Amino acid sequence: MEQKTNATWVVYLTFVVAFLLAIVPFPEWALNYRPQWVSMVLIYWAMALPYRFGIGFAWVAGLLLDILDGSLLGLNALALAVIAYITLSLHQRLRMFSSLQQSGVVLAMTGLYLMMTHWMKIAANQAVTSDLFFLLGALSSAFLWPWLFVLLRQMRRGFSVR
């Protein structure tokens, strides 16, 4: 009964920080390398607390990201919901993985996320670029994942989020 408060605000705080990092201005040459912070934070929480943060949560987060990006409403929402679905169906295995294996999965998932948003933008006439440099964001995300994972795990244990 003493665990009545389960520190949900920590999760919201990490998402707010992820949103901030997602829109902080980058120099032109580094735009393609921007790590997908929101996807990574979402993957972590969906993996650690699959019964608390699911597809609906991811969808709402994606909707907010759409507003922040000024992109089509529902575009990031759809992509993040798919990411959440994959994470939820893999979460038992993901927890057993070493951090290198997890990075590989994050690489695939953020790559899929970038690809999906790119396809949708092209379908909706919101983008015309045809090169694949935008996938570099997945690489930087996978590179940062081990550190982010440790950080978020410390936060989850320290604040006993459950």
Coil vs helix vs strand at 125: coil
Question: Measured from the CB atom, is 1 or 24 closer to other proteins?
Answer: 24
CB of 30 to other proteins, least distance (A): 10
Q: Which residues of 146-159 are buried (b: 16+ CB within 10 A; e: fewer)?
A: eebbeebeebbeeb
CB of 110 to other proteins, least distance (A): 14
Cβ atoms 29, 36 nearer than 8 A = no
CB of 117 to other proteins, least distance (A): 9
Question: Measured from the CB atom, is 2 or 131 closer to other proteins?
Answer: 131
For residues 16 and 71, give the distance between their C-alpha atoms in angstroms, rounded to a whole number.
Answer: 19
**Hey, what amino acid is at 57?**
F
- Residue by residue, DSSP assigns 29-62 as GGGGG---HHHHHHHHHHHH-TTTS-HHHHHHHH
CB of 93 to other proteins, least distance (A): 15
User: Based on the number of CB atoms within 10 Å of its own CB, is 70 exposed (0-12), middle (13-18) or buried (19 or more)?
Assistant: exposed
Question: Measured from the CB atom, is 69 or 162 closer to other proteins?
Answer: 69
CA dist 16 to 32, 80, 109, 158, Å?
22, 16, 21, 19
CB of 70 to other proteins, least distance (A): 4
Question: Measured from the CB atom, is 74 or 104 closer to other proteins?
Answer: 74
Binding site for other proteins (CB under 8 A): 16, 19-20, 22-26, 28, 31-32, 34, 54-56, 59, 63-64, 67-75, 77-78, 81-82, 85, 88-89, 118, 120-121, 124-129, 133-134
Question: Measured from the CB atom, is 75 or 152 closer to other proteins?
Answer: 75
